[in-house]
């Protein structure tokens, strides 16, 4: 049996919810489905230092009752090893039949998708970057504003990255930074600021984390629990928006319905899937289907429906991580503060032909086990050193543009989705240059890039996947048009990162959300014209 809606949205992450709002406001009937994974525990409510001292659940919070955090200590974001986030990533590879060959893959079957465990960094694409899109930049700018006002942004600052981030017209004041970052930023502003052609530029992070209350979400309390879950809702999560969507009478939410395929060659597009609760299969029919399951999962559904077995590129950002020691703060007591990115930086590489982006974080709230493998000494001695050193250190990440990622993705005739890595010869030289610029830049403002701490991330470890079905002015089969409609599969629109034609080094979720909103507006207008 099939049941008809105007639009079915596959996925409840940032792209899914952003595409749904304009549809619902236009009066269209919308069904949203997702994999149904739900949290099994609540994040800490006490500040980090307090619960680390007093909470009797520490072993469950830090290690997990099934030793979850100890099963994969090498590579990737520390959030992948937080027991409270196990539900976010559970079953993703198995259900989507993904085989990774030298390429790290992370995805989600949870309500809200990966926004349950993201860093909340935001940025707009520049006018020059938007020239790669097959529509006027004004269309995306309208949606940027709509998304910003809905989810709330912080970080507004007259600094060297104001234009680069491009969100300050909507952002509120920045969240308070800790004393180490305050010191480094003050020295940067005194010694290096306003040299916009410099190889190393620094500014405040722009975030989808609140510095002021918004609706029922509270401003950041500086509790230091960002890595462990935000109990006050300060950090944006698409999961928190589902209750708002439910207030529309024309909206139906069906968690735990895992889409197995899109049925082509019918008058209207149809999804077929299985209810997680009872194993019952069902079909749903709609005028339009929006794929918002995440780049890799959406690609698998689309390629299967198209019988598309050729290998295509997947964009992802080569990454690195590093630690900076600030000698002035050696021996300082630990202080509770913001646990996500506090300062951002931009690097000019390759004679200014491309940029790298990154942010730095307090070491507070990050398990010591995340650092221990990087210390060149036996564990007992390493632990002693880290206890004395970490409170005077910050850690950072680095992202290169996504066209350097070297990812390839292909559907096999047996239905598996193979993702492999093809090394890019430029990356080694660019990361070496980035390391040198970082060391020189931090040295000028009182920091020391610790020897051996600069570590290249695993391919795909950035989790910034995009571009498998890019929007083109003249798309071919398996690509998408200016409104994300998939060529070869009429009525199916790709609204997540899979349809982006480029992936820059900047945070990309804000652009994905804006583009999903833009496509939702287009489809809503299209339905109105048909009536």
* 202 DSSP β-pair partners: 345
362, β-bridge pairs: 394
Nearest to 113, CA basis, from 95, 89, 135, 77: 89
For 453-490, the pLDDT digits (tens) are 999 999 999 999 999 999 999 999 999 999 999 999 99
What would the mean pLDDT of 107-122 be, rounded to a whole number? 97
Q: Would you state the torsion angle of the CA atoms of residues 420, 424, 428, 434, taken in this order, to the nearest 10 degrees?
A: -100
pLDDT band at 385 (very low <50, low <70, confident <90, very high): low
Residue 379: the pLDDT is 58
Q: What is the pLDDT of residues 412-426, one digit of tens each?
A: 999 999 999 999 999
Rounded-to-integer distance, Cα 63 and Cα 86, Å:
11
| Cα separation values, 205 from 38, 120, 243, 400, 445, Å | 30, 10, 29, 17, 18
Residue 274 is predicted with a pLDDT of 97
Q: Is 283 helix (H, G, I), strand (E, B) or coil?
A: strand
* pLDDT given for residue 264 in this prediction: 82
- Percentage of the chain surpassing pLDDT 70? 95
Give the C-alpha separation, 265 to 61, whole Å. 49
Mean pLDDT over residues 97-116, rounded?
96
Instruction: Report the C-alpha gap between 444 and 54 in whole angstroms.
Output: 40
Backbone angles phi and psi of 68, in degrees to 5: -55, -45
User: What is the rounded distance in angstroms from the CA atom of residue 29 to the CA atom of residue 305?
Assistant: 24
Structural domains of the chain in order of their starting residue, each with its CATH number:
4-530 (3.50.50.60)
Least confident of 117-131, 208-222, 360-374: 360-374
pLDDT at residue 73, as a whole number? 55
**pLDDT at residue number 349:** 97
pTM for the whole structure: 0.96
Per-residue confidence band for 66, with pLDDT thresholds at 50, 70 and 90:
confident
pLDDT at 378: 58
What's the helix, strand, coil split of the chain in %, to 5?
35, 20, 45
Residue 372 makes CB contacts below 8 A (sequence gap 6+) with 379, 382, 383, 386
pLDDT in tens, 152-187: 999 999 999 999 999 999 999 999 999 999 999 999
Nearest to residue 184, comparing CAs of 203, 197, 199?
A: 203
Q: Measured between alpha carbons, how far is 439 from 454 in angstroms, rounded to an integer?
A: 10
**Selection from 169, 121, 117 nearest residue 146 by Cα:** 169
């Amino acid at each position: 049996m099939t049941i008809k809606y105007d639009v079915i949205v596959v996925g409840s992450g940032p792209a899914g919810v952003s595409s749904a709002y304009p549809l619902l406001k236009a009066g269209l009937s919308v069904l949203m489905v997702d994999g149904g994974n739900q949290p099994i525990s609540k994040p800490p409510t006490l500040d980090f230092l307090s619960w680390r001292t007093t909470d009797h659940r520490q072993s469950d919070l830090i290690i997990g009752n099934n030793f979850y955090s100890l099963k994969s200590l090498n590579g990737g974001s520390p959030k992948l090893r937080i027991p409270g986030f196990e539900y976010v990533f559970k079953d993703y590879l198995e259900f989507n039949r993904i085989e990774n060959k030298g390429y790290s893959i992370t995805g989600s079957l949870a309500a809200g998708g990966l926004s349950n465990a993201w860093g909340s960094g935001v940025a707009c694409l520049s006018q020059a970057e938007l020239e790669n899109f097959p529509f006027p930049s004004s269309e995306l700018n309208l949606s940027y504003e709509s998304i910003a006002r809905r989810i709330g942004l912080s970080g507004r600052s007259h600094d060297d990255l104001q234009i680069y981030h491009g969100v300050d017209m909507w952002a509120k004041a920045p969240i308070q930074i800790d004393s180490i970052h305050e010191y480094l930023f003050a020295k940067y502003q005194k010694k290096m600021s306003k040299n916009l052609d410099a190889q190393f530029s620094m500014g405040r992070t722009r975030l989808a984390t609140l510095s002021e209350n918004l609706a029922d979400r509270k401003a950041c309390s500086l509790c230091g629990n960002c890595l462990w879950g935000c109990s006050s809702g300060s950090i944006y999560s698409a999961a928190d928006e589902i209750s708002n969507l439910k207030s529309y009478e024309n909206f139906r939410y069906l968690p735990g319905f895992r889409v197995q395929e899109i049925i082509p060659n019918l008058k209207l597009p149809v999804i077929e899937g299985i209810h997680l609760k009872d194993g019952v299969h069902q079909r749903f029919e709609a005028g339009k289907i929006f794929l918002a399951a995440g780049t890799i999962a959406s690609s698998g559904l689309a390629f299967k429906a198209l019988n598309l077995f050729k290998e295509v590129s997947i964009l992802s950002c080569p990454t690195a991580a590093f630690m900076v020691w600030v000698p002035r703060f050696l021996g300082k007591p630990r202080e509770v503060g913001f646990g996500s990115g506090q300062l951002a930086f931009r690097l000019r590489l390759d004679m200014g032909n491309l940029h790298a982006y990154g942010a730095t974080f307090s070491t507070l709230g990050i398990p010591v086990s995340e650092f221990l493998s990087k210390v060149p000494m036996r564990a007992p001695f390493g632990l002693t050193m880290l206890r004395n050193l970490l409170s005077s250190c910050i850690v950072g990440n680095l992202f290169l543009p996504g066209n350097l990622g070297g990812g390839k993705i292909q559907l096999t005739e047996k239905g598996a989705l193979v993702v492999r890595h093809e090394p890019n010869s430029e990356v080694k030289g660019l990361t070496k240059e980035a390391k040198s610029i970082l060391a020189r830049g931090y040295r000028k403002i009182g920091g020391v890039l610790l020897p051996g701490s600069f570590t290249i991330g695993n391919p795909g470890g950035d989790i910034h996947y995009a571009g498998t079905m890019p929007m083109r002015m003249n798309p071919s089969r398996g690509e998408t048009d200016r409104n994300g409609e998939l060529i070869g599969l009429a009525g199916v629109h790709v609204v997540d990162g899979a349809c982006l034609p480029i992936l820059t080094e900047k945070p990309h979720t804000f652009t994905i959300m804006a583009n999903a909103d833009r496509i939702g507006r287009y489809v809503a207008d299209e339905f109105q014209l048909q009536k």
